Structures are given as structure tokens and as C-alpha cells.
């Protein structure tokens, strides 16, 4: 505890000229230490079941794990971002940094204002697909199905002409959600909730703000939940 107290005094002194990121990354290597520093010196702006979110400078947040699942979500989110950023996937919140050991104790990310639970229609509208889908739940369910099923749905259920069907199937948002679910294992049930989407503070674009709950994280923590 003395180590943490001494460290907090160092942080308090350094905060006069801004958050001491270099010292923070090098000194605090346990979850308890990270949580204590974040609670003491950063403003909490949100909290989920497994992570707390703190304001971290202009246009950024720090997501601090609350437990093992939160650690897994941070690590998965950083991994998915690293992979998707190579292909300029337009739908994921940017991840800027992760703890020095890459454990997933914390990450820093783009600040996003979440949509409310009842904003599913607005999410779809801002993604430019409200002509074909009414709610984000419906859009994500569509993307979770194989492409052959999607084509049949567009042709038979919506009775769209062939050229429009092909245009919808090739839509960059459809492609991006498909990639996030099928290539990177993000649980599609999470993506169906409007509260997992938001608008970036910098540009106002609609993105997925919470995409760390992957099949890998679920399998790794399932036995703990059952116990």
C-alpha cells in the first residue's frame, strides 16, 4: 500500500502539468494500482459490468478493467482495433494505447457519446441504411447470416430489384459489420444493442464503442461465471 500511496503523490504532483502517462505506464502494473490511480485522479464518465470509463484529455477516454473479463475485453478490443485499422474499417472506435505489459489492465481510446437503448432506429439512419432496416438489431441480425441468405431476404422479403440487392450486399457498412462478427469473433448480440454504439466527439461519425466481448473472451471467462 505504501508503494501505491507514494505513487499517487507522484501522480498528484505531475498532474499540474498533465497526466504523467510515462510514469503511469511504467510504475503501475497491477489491476488494483491502476484502479486506485484512475479513481483518484481521473473523472469517471461511465461504467459497465466489467470496465470503468474515465475522461482522459481532449477527445480520449481510459477504459480500466474491473475484473478478469474487463481485462479480456480491453485486450481483445486493442487486438481487434490493431487488425481492423490496417483495412480502415469505418465502424470501430480507435484504440490509442494499452498498458506496457499488454495485459489489458487499461486502454486509451477515442471518446464516443453513446446512443440510448431506444435509439436503434437513429443508429441505422446515421449509418445510411434506414431505407432497408428499421432498427440496429435487425441490421446486425442480417449481417450475422450467410450472404446467400441475405440475398434471398432482400429479393423475397423486401422485393428489391437485382441492382439494388447487389448494392446493399456490397455496402461498406454491411461489409464492416460482417468482418467484425465473422473474422474477429465479436459477439453479434452485443452489437444489436444501440447502447454499444455511439458518435465520436471529434467527427460525429457513428461507431461501435464497445467491441471487446469476443468469443475468445467469453470462452475464457465462462468457467469463472459458472463457478
Number of domains in the chain: 2
- Mean per-residue pLDDT for 24-32? 88
Please report whether residue 92 resides in a domain: yes
Identify whether 46 is part of a domain.
Answer: no
Quick one: pLDDT band at residue 224, thresholds 50, 70, 90? very low
Supply 71's cell numbers.
481485462
- The reply to whether 115 and 23 lie within a common domain is no
Same domain, 71 and 94: yes
Average pLDDT, the chain: 88
Higher pLDDT, 3 or 100: 100
In which domain, by residue range, is 84 found? 53-227
Q: Are residues 87 and 110 in the same domain?
A: yes
In the prediction, which pLDDT does 11 show?
A: 52
9 pLDDT band, cuts 50/70/90, is low
Q: What is the mean pLDDT of residues 36-46?
A: 91
| Predicted local confidence at residue 83, as pLDDT | 87
> What local confidence, expressed as pLDDT, does residue 127 receive?
97
More reliable by pLDDT, 40 or 162? 162
Supply 35's cell numbers.
Answer: 484502479
Place of cell 465473422: 182
> Could you report the per-residue pLDDT of 103-139, keeping only the tens digit for each?
999 999 999 999 999 999 999 999 999 999 999 999 9
* 77 and 176 fall within a common domain: yes
Same domain? 147 vs 169:
yes
Q: Which residue has the higher pLDDT, 65 or 22?
A: 65
What are the contacts of 19-23 at 24+ separation with CB within 8 A?
A: 19/56, 19/57, 21/97
Residue 108 lies in a domain: yes
**Do 92 and 129 lie in a common domain?**
yes
Write down the pLDDT at residue 18: 62
Angle at which helices 172-182 and 136-144 cross, to 10°? 60
Asked if 147 and 225 sit in the same domain, the reply is: yes
Residue 48 covered by a domain: no
> Does residue 36 lie within any of the structural domains?
yes
Predicted pLDDT at 16:
46
Q: What is the pLDDT of residues 147-177, one digit of tens each?
A: 999 999 999 999 999 999 999 999 999 999 9
76 and 20 part of one domain: no
| Res. 4: pLDDT tops 60 | no
Percent composition of the chain: helix, strand, coil (DSSP 3-state, to 5): 50, 15, 30
Check whether 226 has a pLDDT greater than 50. Answer: no
Q: Please tell me the predicted confidence (pLDDT) of residue 100.
A: 84
Same domain, 123 and 84: yes
> Are residues 12 and 115 located together in one domain of the fold?
no
Check: CB of residue 217 under 8 Å from CB of residue 225: no
Same domain, 88 and 115: yes
Grid cell locating 76 = 481483445
Establish if 109 belongs to a structural domain: yes
Asked if residue 77 belongs to a domain, the reply is yes
Amino acid at each position: 500500500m505504501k508503494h501505491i500511496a507514494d505513487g499517487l503523490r507522484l501522480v498528484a504532483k505531475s498532474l499540474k502539468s498533465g497526466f504523467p502517462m510515462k510514469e503511469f505506464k511504467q510504475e503501475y502494473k497491477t489491476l488494483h494500482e491502476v484502479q486506485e490511480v484512475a479513481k483518484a485522479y481521473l473523472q469517471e464518465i461511465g461504467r459497465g459490468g466489467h470496465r470503468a470509463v474515465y475522461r482522459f484529455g481532449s477527445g480520449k477516454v481510459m477504459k480500466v478493467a474491473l475484473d478478469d473479463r474487463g481485462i479480456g475485453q480491453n485486450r481483445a478490443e486493442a487486438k481487434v482495433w490493431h487488425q481492423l485499422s490496417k483495412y480502415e474499417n469505418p465502424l470501430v472506435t480507435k484504440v490509442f494505447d494499452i498498458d506496457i505489459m499488454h495485459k489489458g489492465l487499461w486502454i486509451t481510446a477515442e471518446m464516443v457519446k453513446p446512443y440510448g437503448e431506444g435509439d436503434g432506429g437513429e443508429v441505422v439512419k446515421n449509418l445510411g441504411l434506414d431505407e432497408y432496416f428499421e432498427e440496429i438489431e435487425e441490421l446486425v441480425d442480417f449481417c450475422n447470416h450467410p450472404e446467400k441468405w441475405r440475398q434471398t431476404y432482400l429479393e423475397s422479403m423486401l422485393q428489391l430489384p437485382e441492382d439494388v440487392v447487389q448494392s446493399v450486399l456490397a455496402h461498406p457498412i454491411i461489409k464492416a459489420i460482417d468482418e467484425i462478427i465473422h473474422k474477429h469473433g465479436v459477439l453479434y448480440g452485443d452489437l444489436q444493442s444501440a447502447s454499444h454504439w455511439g458518435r465520436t466527439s471529434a467527427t460525429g461519425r457513428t461507431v461501435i464503442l464497445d467491441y471487446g466481448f469476443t468469443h475468445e473472451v467469453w470462452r475464457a471467462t465462462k468457467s469463472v461465471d459458472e463457478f
